[in-house]
Structure 1
Amino acid sequence: MFQDALRAFALTFSRDYRRVLLRSIALAIALLVALGIGAYYALTYFVTLDMPWAQLTLEILSVVGIAIGAVFLVPPVTSLVAGLFLDDVAGQVERSEFLDQTEGTALPVGRSIWLSIKFFGVMVGVNLVALLLLLVPGVNIVVFYIANGYLLGREYFQLAAMRYRSEDEVALVRRHHALGIFMAGLIIAVVVSIPILNLITPVFATIFMVRLHKRFTRSRSYARR
C-alpha cells in the first residue's frame, strides 16, 4: 500500500498528469476563494457594529475565521473537483501502468458529478463538526483524521472501482478490504491536512485508488459489470 502511495505521489507531478493537475488545482483554488469571499461578505453584511474599532475587529476576526475554516473545507472541495477529472486521470493510469489489462469504462458525467456532490455534502457536515470541536484539544484532530480517512478512502475507491463494477459489486469489494481502504484513506487525509500540498489531492488520490483497486482485485475474482 505504501509503495502504491509513493508511486502515486511521484506520478502526480509527472508530465503525463501535469495538465490535469494544474486544472484541478486552479478549480479548487477558485472554489475556495469564492466560498471565502461569499462568507466574508455575508458576515460583514449581516453583522454591523456602530463603533469603527469594533467593526474593524469583526472584519479581522472574520478573515482569520474564514482562513481557519478553509483548512476544513479543503477535503470536501477537492472531493467535488475529483469527480470532474477522475476519468482523465484513471484512464491515464490504466494506459501507462496496466497495459496488459482491460481499460475501465468511464462513468457518465452526470453520475460522476452526482456522486461527488453527495460526498461533498457529507464531508462538509463532518468537517464542520471537526471545526466546532476546535476548542477541544486533541479531539478535533482525531475526528478530522478518522472521519476524513473513512470518507476519502470510501469515495475515491468507489469512484475508481465503478469504472469496472456495478455499485453492488463495489460494495462487496469494499467490505472485503475495509481496513485497507480505510488505511489508504488516512494517507489521503494526511495529504489533505498539509497546506498547499492538499491541492494535489484529486489527482494523487485517484492514481492511488486506481492502483489499489487493481491490487485488491488481482488475487480474487469479482464479477465485472
Structure 2
Amino acid sequence: MNHLVTSIERTLAQIFDPAFLRVFILGMISTLVALAVAFFLAGALKGQIPYLDFDWGWLQALFDVAFGFVLAWLAALFFVPISTIFVSIFLDDVVDAVENKYYPSHRAGKRLGLWHLCYLALRLSFYIILLNILAVPFYIIFFWTGIGPLIIFYLLNGYLLGWGYYEMVAVRHLGVKEAGDHRKSIRGYVLFAGLGITILFTIPIVNLAAPILAAAIMCHVFHLTVRDRQANGHMFAQEYGRGGEERELNDI
C-alpha cells in the first residue's frame, strides 16, 4: 500500500500550490453549500417521520437519542453525494493541477467536461443513497453490536466512493473497458482509498475539503498504479503511455 501513502503525502503537499489552492477554496465553498442542502433535506425528511411522545422519561430520552442518530445519518447520507455533485464542477481542474505538477508527461488527453462529470457524480450519488437505504435493515440488525453499523457503513461507502472517484479520473486516460480492467487489478488500492475518503467525509471541518482531497488522492493512485502495470507490460496500460506521448507532441 506504499502508493496510497505516497498519494496522501503528495496531496497534502500540494494544497498550498496556487493552481490547487484556487480550486480548493472554490470546492470548499461548494461543499458548504452542499452541507446546507444536506441538512435541509435531512430536516425535511425528519418532518415526515412520525414523532412519538412517551410518558416514561427514560424511554423518551432513549427515543430522542435514536432519532438524533437517524437525523445525523440522513445528513451524512445526503452530504456525501450532494458535495460530490457540487465539486464535480471543479474535478477537471483538480486533476489537471495534480497532473501538471506530478505527471506532466501523462496529462490527460481530454477533459471530461461539466455534463459528463455531473452524470458520473449523479450516478454515484444514486448508488450511494439507494444502497445505504437498502442497507438500513442491516444497520438495525447489527445496531446492538455497537460497531456493526460502522463496519457496514465504511465498507459499503468505501467501495462506492473508491469506485466512483476512480472512474472520474481513469476515464480521462483509458477507455471504459480498459479503466475497468485496471480497477479490477488494483481493487485493494481502490477499496482502501475509498475507505480513506469515507473517513474524510465523516470528520467535521475536514469533510468540507473531502471531495477535493478525494479527487487528488485517487488521481495519484491511478497514475502510480498504472505505471506499475505499464512496466509489467499490461496491454491496457499501453494506452495510458500513448496518451501521454500524444499530449507531449501536442504541447510541442
Question: Match of 1:194, SS?
Answer: coil
Counterpart for residue 128 of structure 2 = 123
Question: Match of 2:98, SS?
Answer: helix
Asked if residue 109 in structure 1 is aligned to residue 118 in structure 2, the reply is: no
Structure 1 distance, partners of 2:191, 2:86, is 21
Change (3 A) 1:72 1:99: same
Q: CA deviation at 1:164?
A: 0.7
Counterpart for residue 29 of structure 1 = 32
Which digits, 9 at most, give the CA deviation of each residue in 1:82-131, with x for residues without a partner?
A: 42111011111111212233444101322211111010011112334566
Counterpart for residue 145 of structure 1 = 154
Aligned length: 219
Single out whichever of 129-138 and 72-81 deviates more from structure 2: 129-138
Which digits, 9 at most, give the CA deviation of each residue in 1:44-72, with x for residues without a partner?
A: 488699xxxxxxx9999977753442233
Counterpart for residue 233 of structure 2 = none
Structure 1 distance, partners of 2:87, 2:32, is 13
Structure 1: gaps of 5 or more residues? 50-56
Aligned counterpart in structure 2 of residue 223 of structure 1, from 206, 223, 239: 239
Structure 2 distance, partners of 1:71, 1:42, is 13
Counterpart for residue 87 of structure 1 = 92
Asked if residue 155 in structure 1 is aligned to residue 160 in structure 2, the reply is: no
Counterpart for residue 248 of structure 2 = none
Single out whichever of 20-29 and 202-211 deviates more from structure 2: 20-29
Change (3 A) 1:145 1:18: same
Do the aligned residues in 2 keep the contact of 1:91 with 1:104 (CA within 8 Å)?
A: no
Question: Match of 1:164, SS?
Answer: coil
Q: CA RMSD in A?
A: 2.9
Structure 1 distance, partners of 2:51, 2:157, is 36
Question: Match of 1:107, SS?
Answer: coil
Structure 2 distance, partners of 1:45, 1:184, is 36
Do the aligned residues in 1 keep the contact of 2:159 with 2:195 (CA within 8 Å)?
A: yes
Structure 1 distance, partners of 2:46, 2:197, is 32
Which digits, 9 at most, give the CA deviation of each residue in 1:4-43, with x for residues without a partner?
A: 1122133235433222222222222212312423443565
Asked if residue 171 in structure 1 is aligned to residue 176 in structure 2, the reply is: no
Single out whichever of 138-147 and 186-195 deviates more from structure 2: 186-195
Do the aligned residues in 1 keep the contact of 2:34 with 2:86 (CA within 8 Å)?
A: no
The percent identity for this pair of structures is 22
Question: Match of 2:197, SS?
Answer: helix
Change (3 A) 1:74 1:48: closer
Question: Match of 2:25, SS?
Answer: helix
Aligned counterpart in structure 2 of residue 199 of structure 1, from 183, 202, 208: 208
Asked if residue 19 in structure 1 is aligned to residue 54 in structure 2, the reply is: no
Question: Match of 1:3, SS?
Answer: helix
Q: CA deviation at 1:80?
A: 1.9
Structure 2 distance, partners of 1:205, 1:43, is 30
Change (3 A) 1:121 1:96: same
Which digits, 9 at most, give the CA deviation of each residue in 1:139-182, with x for residues without a partner?
A: 11001111111111111111111111111110011111111211
Structure 2 distance, partners of 1:105, 1:168, is 17
Larger Rg: 2
- TM-score normalised by the chain length of structure 1: 0.82
Aligned counterpart in structure 2 of residue 100 of structure 1, from 105, 120, 144: 105
